[in-house]
Structure 1
Amino acid sequence: MSANPQVRADTIIYNGPIWCGYEEGTVEALAIWQGKVLATGTREQIWSLKGDETHLINLQGRFATPGLNDAHLHLLLVGLTLDWVDATPQTAPTLDRLLNIIRDKAATVSPGAWIKARGYDQTKLDVGRHPHKSELDAVAPNNPVLLERACGHVAIFNSRAFELAGVDEKTPVPDGGLIEQRNGQLTGMVAENAQQVVLKTIPKPSTEEMIAAIEAAGKLLLSYGITSVMDAAVGQVAGFEEIRAYTLAKLQKRLPVRTWLVLLQDGQSMVQKCYEAGLVSGVGDDMLTVGAVKIFLDGSAGGRTAWMSRPYVGEDDNVGVQILQDAELAALVLDAHSKGYQLACHAIGDAAIGQLITAYEKALAAHPDPDRRHRIEHCGFSTPEQHERMRKAGIYPCPQQVFIYDFGDAYISVLGPDRALSSYPLKTWKDLGFKPATGSDSPVCDPNPYPNIYSMLTRKTCEGTVMDASERVTIEEALQVYTEYGAFSQKLEHVKGKLVPGQAADIAVFSRNMLIATPEDILKDTRCVMTLLAGEVVFERTADIRGFGELEKAQPAPRSANW
């Protein structure tokens, strides 16, 4: 403990294990002053900082950690898709069930209105294939339908949607995209860059709708103990208008979580407009920061569009989708790098990862910066040779360990065990010093952190398959990945990520001490019961947590939070 003895804490948290960080371990009590950690230590030490106006939070034995940092999700999209049709395997495990859900939705909307659904995984459907355009036509003949695969890189459209977009069998396919045909007929499947050919016909949300989505998504994340996020593709929905929506959300105090904005390089001049406005990496404050530039290099492994060096199982002519040619990617990376941006580019397959490393190496050679921390988003199927190149150049993987839990069995089915089991090698990356963060890629996966933590501890899929047990980490390491390493990935490790004096008092309180719980108990029987942002209670689960009631308040709670 070290603090100015004349200062009196605004808030003291006590009477429960408070995990401050991997190196710092646990303490008995913590003092907060002006939104930051003032001191940590024993209850006796911290009580010396108590004043007449100090707010006391009695943990009653519950477990506190730094606020979690979901280092890769799509905050705006999470909010916008909250009212979409749920097509996840949990809700729609069979094709008939999925089609019935869409039929039911069609019965409630007016003819011509878009029906939007997401979350299906063809490897988990009972039929083991993607739905077909004709099947969507049968259940929603009067409405355009968008059915997104869980990964977001593949979508199925029905005939009405194609008609609105003017798409038929003669429509040119954009480079880096796919509009599937079989026997000379459209199947409905559209992937990667080609999706925009149809998606552009869907009306864009208004600024107010985007602000409301940001607010709703942020409140959901607070209920999980997540206080910081990265929005991984700003500009994907409404271009530069999204910057306005985020800025207004912050000004109107409707931005619930600290947000690191990643600008999508997508042909809409998003990056150029931001650069001309002075919005380069690091601009902003602790609540809203311009982060990196995003470029897509390939798709998803489960959708068979991640760019691999070897073909997918059963498809000898399919190695996935290469979205950009080498020279085009190198030029885009060099341009963003020379403008001062950090880059956080999507590459899942080993071929895409190799292409991206080469582009980063060239940019860093032209304009050296030993601490730019260019990121490889996902980086699922990297190789030992690529790891050595990354380590030498200062390039960092930014994975989503929950992919092992949600999609591990799909990886085995499309790639075979020799490539799939060793994917997302967290322990290897940690041992190499990469400080890998983690995230959910929500709405690809649920932002719920417990499957993510479970995956790091066990390397088990949701079906129980073990994906290379040698890549397991301890619970302390998993929490470090979710907190300290998330901050490092955003170059904000001196602002947040640990509960140490001077850092943000962002705190998550959980119903169970995860340091001594089994992985299964963490997965199935743990809840966030309180979240603090900058020392203020912004979420409190007021129902009896033993029954995990659903009464939640994602707003400032009364100052008498003494459970």
Structure 2
Amino acid sequence: MKEAGITKDTPDPHHGKIERDENGEATGLLRESAKDLVYHIMPPYSFEEFYEGLQLVLDECIRLGLTSIHASMVSPTEFKAMQALKRERKLGIRVAVHLSGRDEGMVEGAIAAGIETPFGDEWLKITEAEWVFDTSTSGRTAAYYEPYVGEPENTGILLYDQDDIEKRVLMTHKAGIRVGLDGVGDRGIDRSLDAIEKALKAYPRDDHRHRIEHCCYVTPAIQDRLLKLDVIDASATGFLHDLGDAYKANRGAEAMKYMWPHRTLIDRGIPAPGHSDASICDANPWLAIYSMVTRKTSSGDVLYAAEGVEPVEAIKAYSIDGAYAAWEEDIKGTVEVGKLADLVVVDRDPLSIKHDDLNKVTTLMTVIDGKIAYKR
């Protein structure tokens, strides 16, 4: 804090907050854009550091039984490392890249180059440009219409002005690049859908597959808008397991009725692939699948059991729906003739075991492109 020059007199930045004690002194907790006050004095990861670390992360994903991942907010350095691993035949796992809207010039450069999504091959493919517009319910910054429990003045923070995010979405959509906006609270999701709706009205396009990333608090009104606009609910199912207790504490038990409401989403025909947002949550998909079925958090608390789904439906969210969300349903998502030879062998039948044992499912073998990538 001293190195960054943050003092009692430092004002809160736009779209951020410096937490302070009763004397007005900064406590060290920086929320959302306030983090930028210290980021500028932190040395960035080098290409070499990310290249080495990425291999470790991808190896862990393969060990967990993942054959494809969607990589969020990929910076230029990170994308270069992915390309280097691919050239050297070390990538090992299939990656759908979300270009980082936070890295100024990255999306604009892709547009200037004439890139449209999806762009790439079955190993490394640009599938969207993503902006972190809304943020964290567990951190009490996600944007809601109603205030947080115990904080009547706090309804969260959006990280862009509305006219700014609308210009970015319009520019990207017009260029033929799919848009992903992080929307967590109902206000954040609605403002994200407002931007997408304006872009679609200006430049109508079928099968755009724009996404709301995380899309946690999905009220009936938001469900209607997702259907009307044909937007994918890229659901943060991993949050239910790892962060569900914090969500309940911060938003109240009644709000859990519309938090990741997968039973309703499936019944209404809203595409809702699951994800972990690793390293925010554990990358193990079976923890999220367990919670989608049982509606249990890591502590065992049940968050509105009526929104639980069947095991096969939860598995579909991590296979068929994930493939659809990357325009890859013709080559992956199911094991059948003519599709990529990617599959996983697990230690028990997830369709016949007790639902409470789904979090114990373990990967015995991961096969990618017809080759054994991991064997226990």
TM-score of the aligned structures, taking structure 1 as reference length: 0.65
* Residue matched to 2:312: 476
Cα deviation for residue 338 of structure 1 reads: 0.8
Cα deviation for residue 267 of structure 1 reads: 5.3
Q: 2:72 aligns with which of 232, 241, 245?
A: 232
SS for the counterpart of 1:179 is strand
* Residue matched to 1:537: 372
Distance in 2, Cα, partners of 1:392 & 1:166: 48
Q: In structure 1, what residue type is equivalent to 2:372?
A: V
Unaligned runs of 5+ in 2: none
Distance in 2, Cα, partners of 1:535 & 1:200: 45
Are positions 1:195 and 2:30 aligned together?
no
CA contact (8 A) 1:381 1:424 kept: yes
1:245-284 matches, within 5 Å, as 245-266=81-102, 268-284=104-120
1:274-353 matches, within 5 Å, as 274-353=110-189
Cα deviation for residue 268 of structure 1 reads: 2.0
Are positions 1:519 and 2:359 aligned together?
no
* Residue matched to 1:402: 238
CA contact (8 A) 1:412 1:421 kept: no
Per-residue CA shift, 1:197-245, capped at 9, x if unaligned?
212322222212212122111110111110100111112xxxx222221
1:44-443 matches, within 5 Å, as 162-182=1-21, 183-235=23-75, 240-266=76-102, 268-443=104-279
Distance in 2, Cα, partners of 1:483 & 1:333: 28
Per-residue CA shift, 1:431-479, capped at 9, x if unaligned?
1112210111100111112211110110111222211111111111111
Distance in 2, Cα, partners of 1:196 & 1:246: 26
Q: In structure 2, what residue type is equivalent to 1:169?
A: K
CA contact (8 A) 2:147 2:154 kept: yes
1:448-459 matches, within 5 Å, as 448-459=284-295
CA contact (8 A) 1:305 1:321 kept: yes
* Residue matched to 1:504: 340
CA contact (8 A) 1:169 1:186 kept: yes
CA contact (8 A) 2:118 2:326 kept: no
Cα deviation for residue 172 of structure 1 reads: 4.1
CA contact (8 A) 2:136 2:184 kept: yes
Greater relative CO, 1 or 2 (CA 8 Å, sep 6+):
1
CA contact (8 A) 1:296 1:346 kept: yes
Unaligned runs of 5+ in 1: 1-161, 542-563
Q: In structure 2, what residue type is equivalent to 1:208?
A: E
Distance in 2, Cα, partners of 1:504 & 1:409: 38
Cα deviation for residue 278 of structure 1 reads: 4.1
CA contact (8 A) 2:130 2:180 kept: yes
Cα deviation for residue 247 of structure 1 reads: 0.9
Q: In structure 2, what residue type is equivalent to 1:188?
A: G
RMSD, aligned CA = 1.4
Per-residue CA shift, 1:341-396, capped at 9, x if unaligned?
11111010000111111111110011111200110011111211111111011111
CA contact (8 A) 1:214 1:249 kept: no
Cα deviation for residue 521 of structure 1 reads: 2.3
Q: Which runs of at least 4 in structure 1 moved beyond 4 Å after TM superposition?
A: none
Distance in 1, Cα, partners of 2:352 & 2:58: 29
Distance in 1, Cα, partners of 2:28 & 2:237: 31
CA contact (8 A) 1:422 1:467 kept: no
Are positions 1:464 and 2:300 aligned together?
yes
Q: In structure 2, what residue type is equivalent to 1:181?
A: R
Of the structure 1 ranges 262-271 and 393-402, higher mean CA displacement relative to structure 2 is found in 262-271
Per-residue CA shift, 1:523-553, capped at 9, x if unaligned?
13x2101111010111111xxxxxxxxxxxx
Return closer, same or farther for 1:241/1:405 CA change in 2, 3 Å cut-off.
closer
CA contact (8 A) 1:214 1:255 kept: no
Structure in which a larger fraction of residues adopt helix: 2
Distance in 2, Cα, partners of 1:272 & 1:396: 24
Structure in which a larger fraction of residues adopt strand: 1
Give the % identical residues: 33
Distance in 2, Cα, partners of 1:249 & 1:196: 30
TM-score of the aligned structures, taking structure 2 as reference length: 0.96
Aligned residues: 375
Of the structure 1 ranges 165-174 and 479-488, higher mean CA displacement relative to structure 2 is found in 165-174
Per-residue CA shift, 1:260-319, capped at 9, x if unaligned?
110111252121123334444211110000011111222111111010000011111000
Of the structure 1 ranges 218-227 and 179-188, higher mean CA displacement relative to structure 2 is found in 179-188
Distance in 2, Cα, partners of 1:326 & 1:281: 24
Distance in 2, Cα, partners of 1:428 & 1:202: 44
Distance in 2, Cα, partners of 1:280 & 1:176: 31
SS for the counterpart of 1:165 is coil
Distance in 1, Cα, partners of 2:59 & 2:211: 27
Distance in 2, Cα, partners of 1:194 & 1:273: 27
Q: In structure 1, what residue type is equivalent to 2:71?
A: D
Distance in 2, Cα, partners of 1:280 & 1:369: 13
SS for the counterpart of 1:438 is coil
Distance in 2, Cα, partners of 1:426 & 1:311: 24
SS for the counterpart of 1:230 is strand
Distance in 2, Cα, partners of 1:256 & 1:201: 34
Distance in 2, Cα, partners of 1:510 & 1:349: 35
Of the structure 1 ranges 269-278 and 467-476, higher mean CA displacement relative to structure 2 is found in 269-278
Distance in 2, Cα, partners of 1:320 & 1:440: 22
